[in-house]
Amino acid sequence: MSDKPISKGDLVMVVRVAKCCGLAKRLGYSFIVNKIVFQSYYCGSCGAPHSADWVALLSENSGAPFYRLRRIDPPALNDDIPIGEELHV
């Protein structure tokens, strides 16, 4: 994990419960960010309204606010991992 901000195309995972009702249903859910918006929204579970915040969207009706997400860095390639030319069969 790094301090780089979440951006379009990042792989993210839901790691925190909702502030309003403690919804934990989506904990562990991961998705690739399709769009980032600054908007107000309603909790999908209890319907509580939330003031404007940065939200990462998977689709127009599915996403999560940044405070619930953690960006997942892709694994770094090491020199000791064989690649196409180095594989001997």
pLDDT exceeds cutoff 80 at 79: no
CA distances from 84 to 74, 75, 89 (A): 19, 18, 11
Q: What is the pTM of this model?
A: 0.72
pLDDT at 89: 58
Over residues 44-60, the mean pLDDT reads: 86
Model confidence at 87, pLDDT cuts 50, 70, 90, reads low
> What is the pLDDT at residue 38?
93
Phi, psi values for residue 32, rounded to 5° = -95, 130
